[in-house]
Amino acid sequence: MLEKGRLSTRQFTVLIFLSCIGDMILIYPSAISSMSRQDAWISSLLGLLGGLLVLWLMLHVSQLHPDKTLVEAIQLIFGKWLGSIVNLWYLFYFFMLCSYLVREVGDFLTTQIFLNTPLKIIYLLFILLMVYALHAGLESIGRSSEILLPIFLLVAMIFIFCLLPQSKPENLKPFLENGAIPVLYGAYFASIYPFGELIVLLMVIPYVKREQKIKKDIIIVALGAGLLLSLIILVSLLVLGVDMTINNTYPTYFLAQKINIGNFLQRIESTMAVAWLISTFSKAVICYYAFTMGVAQLTGLSNQKILYFPAAIMLFGMADLAAPDVLYYLKHIVPYWMDWDLTNAVVIPCILWITWACRRKWKGKS
Amino acid sequence: MLAVLLVLGMVAVVAWIELPNVFRQRQWKEVMVIVLMLLAGASFSILSIILYKIQTPLVLIEVIYEPVNRLFGQWFS
Amino acid sequence: MPIKGEDERMKQSNDNLTGSIIDNIAKIVQELGNSDDLIIKKFRCLQTCSAALIFIDGLVDSQLLHNSILESLLVKEPADSSPHQDLTEYLQQNILVAAHTGTFTTIKDLFSRLFAGNAILLIENESKGLWIDAAGWEQRSVTEPQSHSVVRGPMEGFTENIRTNTAMIRRRIRDPRLWIESKEIGTVTHTTVSFMYIKGLADEGVVEELRTRLDRINMDSVLEGGYIEEEIQDAIKTPFPTVYNSERPDTIAAGLLEGRIAIIVNGTPFVLLIPALFVQFFQSPDDYFERSLIGTLVRLLRYMAFFLALLAPSLYIAFTTFHQELLPTSLIISIAAQREAVPFPAFIEALLMELTYEILREASIRIPKTIGQAVSIVGTLVIGQAAVQAGAVSAAMVIVVSITAISSYVIPENGMSIAVRILRFLLMFLAASFGLLGIWLGLMAILIHLTTLKSFGVPYMSPFGPYIAPDIKDSIFRFPWTKMTTRPAYHATEEQLEHRNARRQRRS
């Protein structure tokens, strides 16, 4: 085992919660609403159920080899050569995921808050913080997330409750204007987009202390995360209406700017941004960890800490290259990204499962 | 130009931090992986500075999934 | 660096006593270089054999020497008694009127006993010497502790004498399970360092680890607990203290009852407690002596003051430079008006005022008491006021610095407020460069750093970090005594400490 630290179940569930929300807080309302318009909240709730199924599948696959990470398990089940190819595919996925997260943070901060700061500086700072967190170790990341969770929840609750007075229920009508198909399409997005990317946590799951109820806890926590996302979409639709939600780059930030309690608690959007930074950071750290751990396990290294700095430079470069502009990843690549997520989170794990079952049967026979 | 030099400087700093220990312990696989990653990182960074409009690697993904999407689109519309 | 001649001295010190008193005395006098506080009284012990009583003037109680020891030794033996086999044993058991005595054979032991305030008795033709406890020197009486004062509670503080300190702890915990172990640390000072723990409550692994770390210390001098603290703390470089210290016996006793270990160093009234957690530095004895509700509220106030002391100048810089929209409009207009006149950017202004405050703070420790009051009250006001009127700083900055200063005194433990002082400047720099993002980065980095710290194997941020639900009762809150039914759990990691038999125990 390359990793000596161990996470407790509670720390792992907190990481799942924060990773599930991740960067979704910035782009989720816009993406889903462009599919199903004002029924996006229905899509989101339906998608939550689909997402839990996806999560269940991933957890089941992780239990095939309980003490091996995803990369190791793929090597074991698919064999050396096919396994390496599939692993390269996954490592590419983790790497692009991480660079996209860095890119999203950078775009968000430079277009909304720090208008004059160069993108590269934000990347550099964010990546340096991630490297510091990783050098501190997995246990430290777990403990920090446990401490950060109440802060995140507090900000999220303030966000939701301060906006409810401004909601206009007529924004949700008419229900099912375009029929059920767009809603289902939106539900497909809502189930894959947040939950599919949780596959990175399969690189961490072997290092969680084994306890009985871990599957149940994880499902409950993911349910909570999905509900929070649905709530955010609901608030966004209620307060802003469909068109503003679809056409705004960052609807949640725009919403935060609208918070106004008694003419005193206003213009607090910069402090709200802290919550978005916390969730995106948690997810980015996990993706970074998955990537370096995967490289170390694929090439058989003895120590993955030496890879953190080189991977930082790779991220620094790729964050700019990953997308030519904001619209690319908000609108253009979304369908293709969905399919990619689906492959990685559902199709390949299913194939893994089937292959493992077949191999066991053949071994049983012989 | 200055930015490219800065990037090279960063690569040099990282090499100076990581490589001596690994050399001392004679772990050649690790050295190779680190060097590869640094090269990749340097090339990404320099490309992103010099050539603004370079295709993203995700074009690959687009190319792969284009027929799939078209198929699904035909089923659902 | 070894003292000149130490090698020779080491060789000589392991010598045994010779039977001849003259030789022994000559050796002692030569070692001490004829220091004139060494008193040697030659007499005929029991009126029969030649003997010498050696002691250091100022370290012994002369009355005791005269009335008990010398008087008992100068008694005349009946003329027909046979010579005794083991004279020292006979003296100890039958003749000597002294409560605490013992024998020794080497010169090294002689010196260590001599400087501990014992009187040495050397007898002709005996290979063993006798030491007699006659210690009596001037020391500070038990007074109110200077550093940790409370509104309600005991007003006793430790003194510099190790025996008084251990006795004060024993008076509070009258249980045979309270064990003491002593070591002598410091190659020149030979300071006595004892540690106390309650057998069965303290984690055996931690006790063993402490012994190893204390044995590892190789220093010339141990003048204060701080020397020991630096040597035994875990190896990570950090501004945060991982060893708790206190001048109050009741705090130390409470720590012992939670399963911690107290380290008492001779010569200082500050006693160390290990393992130390982050939440401990925000607990004050007051919380436990007053009612639980006010204890909870004051604790919350302390945490708030911690963040205020850490963040106030950085937030000021960030808000006035980057995020003006976050302040209410009328406030930002008045701050802008004030800052119009100031020639410096917000960061330099804040830095100047903070540095000035740090200078004043250091100076006020050493200012004579008579001028101290005047300087602190009038001086700060005058400096602040004059600076504002001269246009060097804005009035808002003076307010921010004062709030910061006062908040940092709310933290009960000095070690923690030192960490806050250092980190405050780092955060100010980050705020000046990157605004709220910089503050967020700084706070995240501090959080990550805190979660990597361990104090003797226990994670520093328990019970927040590894969330231990029963321990939250005494961290942010102070639950009433009826609800505090469990002792804190110390989950020291298995790899570092091998002998573990700690069990969570319920208070009965």
Q: What is the pLDDT of residues C19-55, one digit of tens each?
A: 788 888 888 898 888 888 999 988 888 777 888 899 9
Residue of A nearest to B63 (CA): A336
Q: Which residues of chain C from 421 to 440 reach within 8 Å of chain A, CB to CB? A: 434-437, 440
Which residue shows structure tokens 């198909």? Answer: A181
Q: Which of A165, A175, A309 is nearest to A242 (CA)?
A: A175
User: Which span out of C86-95, C436-445, C496-505 was modeled with the highest average pLDDT?
Assistant: C436-445
Q: Which residues of chain A from 168 to 227 reach within 8 Å of chain B, CB to CB? A: 181, 185
Q: Which residues of A touch B48 (CB under 8 A)?
A: 317-318, 320-321
A136 CA: distance to closest CA in chain C (Å): 6
In this complex, is the C-beta atom of C443 within 8 Å of any C-beta atom belonging to chain A? no
Q: Which residues of C touch A271 (CB under 8 A)?
A: 326, 436
Contact B45 A317 (CB under 8 A): yes
A289 CA: distance to closest CA in chain B (Å): 15
| Chains near A (3 or more Cβ pairs under 8 Å) | B, C
**DSSP letters spanning A127-191:** HHHHHHHHHH-HHHHHHHHHHHHHHHHHHHHHHHHHHGGG--GGGGPSTTTT-HHHHHHHHHHHH
Task: Take residue B72 and report the two structure tokens written for it.
Answer: 């699904």
Contact B48 A321 (CB under 8 A): yes
pLDDT value of residue C489: 67
Report the b/e string of B52-67 with b at 16+ CB within 10 A.
Answer: eeeebebeebbeebee
ipTM of the complex: 0.91
Q: Which of C441, B33, B36, C494 is nearest to A305 (CA)?
A: B33
pLDDT tens, position by position, A173-211: 777 777 788 888 888 888 888 888 899 998 998 888 877
pLDDT value of residue C78: 72
Q: Considering CB atoms only, which of A301, A302, A314 is closest to B40?
A: A314
Q: Which residues of C touch A122 (CB under 8 A)?
A: 437
Rounded percentage of chain C residues whose pLDDT exceeds 90: 21
Collapsed DSSP state (helix, strand, coil) of residue B59:
helix
- Measured CB to CB, residues of chain B less than 8 Å from chain A are 3, 7, 10-11, 14, 17-18, 21-22, 27, 29-30, 33-34, 37-38, 40-48, 53-54, 56-58, 61-62, 65-66, 68-69, 76
What span, in angstroms and rounded, lies between the C-alpha atoms of C107 and C322? 72
Collapsed DSSP state (helix, strand, coil) of residue C5:
coil
> What sign does the dihedral A341-A62-A73-B33 (CA atoms) show?
positive
Contact B29 A317 (CB under 8 A): no
Cis peptide upstream of residue A174 (ω within 30 degrees of 0): yes
- DSSP β-ladder status, C191-198 and C178-185: antiparallel
In this complex, is the C-beta atom of A66 within 8 Å of any C-beta atom belonging to chain B? no
pLDDT value of residue C508: 36
Contact A148 C440 (CB under 8 A): no
A151 near A278, Cβ under 8 Å? yes
Average pLDDT, whole number, for chain C?
83
- Residues linked to residue C197 through DSSP beta bridges, in sequence order: C179
Task: Take residue C331 and report the two structure tokens written for it.
Answer: 């406030």
Q: Which of C149, C151, C120 is nearest to C133 (CA)?
A: C120
Sequential pLDDT tens for chain A (366 residues)? 567 788 888 899 999 999 999 888 888 888 888 888 878 888 899 999 999 999 999 988 888 888 888 888 888 888 888 899 999 999 999 999 999 999 999 988 888 888 788 888 899 999 999 999 999 989 999 999 999 999 999 989 988 888 888 888 887 777 777 778 888 888 888 888 888 889 999 899 888 887 767 788 888 999 999 999 999 889 888 888 888 888 888 888 888 888 887 777 777 777 778 888 999 999 999 999 999 999 999 988 888 888 899 999 999 988 888 887 777 887 778 888 888 888 888 899 999 999 988 888 888 776
User: Which span out of B61-70, C425-434, C459-468 was modeled with the highest average pLDDT?
Assistant: C425-434
What span, in angstroms and rounded, lies between the C-alpha atoms of C236 and C210? 17
Q: Does position C9 have pLDDT exceeding 60, yes or no?
A: no
Q: Considering CB atoms only, which of C441, C452, C459 is closest to A125?
A: C441
In this complex, is the C-beta atom of C447 within 8 Å of any C-beta atom belonging to chain A? yes
User: What are the domain boundaries of chain A?
Assistant: 9-360
pLDDT value of residue C458: 85
- Residues linked to residue C274 through DSSP beta bridges, in sequence order: C261
Phi then psi dihedrals of residue C91, to 5 deg: -60, -45
pLDDT value of residue C379: 67
Q: Which residues of A touch B30 (CB under 8 A)?
A: 301-303, 306
pLDDT tens, position by position, C202-239: 888 889 989 998 988 888 888 888 888 888 887 778 89
Go through chain A and tell me how many residues it has.
Answer: 366
- The amino acid at residue C138 is E
Contact B41 A317 (CB under 8 A): yes
In this complex, is the C-beta atom of A160 within 8 Å of any C-beta atom belonging to chain B? no
Alpha helices in B1-77 (DSSP H): 2-24, 28-50, 58-76
What span, in angstroms and rounded, lies between the C-alpha atoms of A189 and C418? 51
Radius of gyration of chain C (CA): 30
Residues C369-374: what's their mean pLDDT? Answer: 74
Q: Which residues of C touch A268 (CB under 8 A)?
A: 326
Q: Considering CB atoms only, which of A312, A323, A339 is closest to B56?
A: A323
* Best of A7, A140, A288 to mutate (most C CBs within 10 Å, chain C): A140
- Residues linked to residue C245 through DSSP beta bridges, in sequence order: C272
Task: Take residue C470 and report the two structure tokens written for it.
Answer: 């029963």
Q: Which residues of B touch A322 (CB under 8 A)?
A: 56-58
Q: Does position B75 have pLDDT exceeding 90, yes or no?
A: no
In this complex, is the C-beta atom of C324 within 8 Å of any C-beta atom belonging to chain A? no
* Best of A93, A102, A318, A346 to mutate (most B CBs within 10 Å, chain B): A318
Residues C154-170: what's their mean pLDDT? Answer: 92
What span, in angstroms and rounded, lies between the C-alpha atoms of B23 and A121? 32
Q: Which of C194, C173, C172, C174 is nearest to C183 (CA)?
A: C194
A15 near A147, Cβ under 8 Å? no
Collapsed DSSP state (helix, strand, coil) of residue B77:
coil
Q: Does position C469 have pLDDT exceeding 80, yes or no?
A: no
Q: Considering CB atoms only, which of A109, A137, A143 is closest to C465?
A: A143
Whether chains A and B touch (3+ CB pairs under 8 A) is answered by yes
pLDDT value of residue A152: 92
In this complex, is the C-beta atom of A320 within 8 Å of any C-beta atom belonging to chain B? yes
C162 near C265, Cβ under 8 Å? yes
pLDDT tier, C503 (very low <50, low <70, confident <90, very high otherwise): very low
Q: Does position C499 have pLDDT exceeding 50, yes or no?
A: no
| Chains near C (3 or more Cβ pairs under 8 Å) | A
For residue C67, the 8-state DSSP code is: I
Beta strands in A149-306 (DSSP E): 260-261, 265-266
Q: Considering CB atoms only, which of A10, A122, A270 is closest to C467?
A: A10
Q: Considering CB atoms only, which of C323, C435, C441 is closest to A129?
A: C441
H-run or E-run covering C354: helix C346-366
Rounded percentage of chain A residues whose pLDDT exceeds 70: 99
Which residue shows structure tokens 């740090």? Answer: C358
H-run or E-run covering C263: strand C261-265
Task: Take residue A250 and report the two structure tokens written for it.
Answer: 């960052």
- Centroid of chain to Cα A332: 19
Fold adopted by A9-360 = Amino acid/polyamine transporter I (1.20.1740)
CA-CA distances (angstroms) from residue C350 to C339, C341, C368, C373, C398? 12, 15, 29, 26, 9
pTM of the model: 0.87
C262 near C202, Cβ under 8 Å? no
Q: Considering CB atoms only, which of A120, A301, A320 is closest to B30?
A: A301
Contact C436 A270 (CB under 8 A): yes
Q: Considering CB atoms only, which of A306, A318, A323 is closest to B30?
A: A306
- DSSP β-ladder status, C191-198 and C261-265: antiparallel
Q: Considering CB atoms only, which of A139, A264, A274 is closest to C440?
A: A274
What span, in angstroms and rounded, lies between the C-alpha atoms of C506 and C508? 6
Collapsed DSSP state (helix, strand, coil) of residue C54:
strand
Size of interface A-B (CB pairs under 8 A): 104
What span, in angstroms and rounded, lies between the C-alpha atoms of A339 and A193? 10
Alpha helices in C221-289 (DSSP H): 225-232, 249-257, 285-289
